[in-house]
Amino acid sequence: MIRKFLSILAIAAMSCSNNEVQGQICTPDANLKVPGFLPMVLPDAQKDVPYSQAITVLAFKDTSVKQGNLTLKVYIDSMKITGITGLPNGMSYNCLNARCVFTPAALSCVKLSGTPNESGIFPLKIAILAYAKVSGVLPTTQKDTIESFVLNVSGSASTISLSKKALSITPNPASQTAFVNSEIEPLIYNSLGQLQSISALKQELGYSLNIQNLLPGIYTVKCGLKSVKLIVE
């Protein structure tokens, strides 16, 4: 019963304003006129680039739930965010209300901010505790989790730039080590198409390859769908 109105309450979350009032954590978006949230989808973030995005919240005042043959009115007093998990490393959240409590009486907001230091797709889990009265008399609380928000963090600017370039190896020819500008771990094949066992060390802008045990010759380095020739001396 309670979970039904909490699923409706989950439509109460946040929006971003770049013109925040000085001293405030975030500024609620006045365009939200009915219970719900803005934005519905979080803007993408970028690795190693500062990110700031708010979610504007307007909670429902009441809802109806069924218990058997009875239809009961549930009046929502407030909801509290008790935690947000799933954020990438380097990011955190803060609420306009220091206790992260939201009421149906006024707009409020939560701000996601920081500098993500990893890329990927991050489904967020927002844990809430709702306070309400069934039929306006019986107090009740219920825990729930909002799972409708996903934050996509793309690679850093330098990585994105590299991904658009042709695959290359330096130095080439090489005898001890070589560097390949790829986000994907490279595979090395000899002229017979046999996979070679080498050590590939991940670095910020690609991979460093230890090729000192390879026999002299021409090899093919494959990174996903891209490939390039490597001459080993």
pLDDT digits (tens, 9 = 90+) for 137-157: 788 887 878 777 788 888 755
Closest CA to 32 of 123, 84, 104, 128: 104
* CATH (residue range 2-154): 2.60.40
Residue 208 CA to chain centroid, in angstroms? Answer: 29
CB 21 within 8 Å of CB 27 = yes
CA distances 209 to 162, 190, 191, 232, Å, are 18, 15, 18, 12
pLDDT score for 48: 92
CATH 2.60.40.10 domain span(s) along the chain? 157-232
Residue corresponding to tokens 């009486």: 105
| Residues 120-151 as b or e (16 or more Cβ within 10 Å = b) | eebebebebbbebebeeeeeeebebebeebeb
Of the options 1.10.1240.10, 3.40.190.150, 2.30.110.10, 2.60.40.10, the CATH number for the domain spanning 157-232: 2.60.40.10
pLDDT score for 54: 93
Give pLDDT < 70 ranges for the chain. Answer: 1-23, 40, 63-68, 156-165
pLDDT score for 94: 94
User: Which parts of 1-42 fold into alpha helices (H)?
Assistant: 2-9
Residues 6+ positions from 204 with CB-CB distance below 8 Å? 158
User: Which parts of the chain fold into alpha helices (H)?
Assistant: 2-9, 157-163
pLDDT score for 65: 63
CB 195 within 8 Å of CB 222 = no
pLDDT score for 66: 64
Give pTM, 2 decimals. Answer: 0.55
Dihedral, 9, 10, 12, 18 alpha carbons, nearest 10: 170
pLDDT score for 159: 45
Mean predicted lDDT score pLDDT of the chain: 79
Decide: helix, strand or coil at residue 223: strand
Closest CA to 78 of 28, 128, 146, 112: 128
Closest CA to 76 of 63, 65, 67, 66: 63
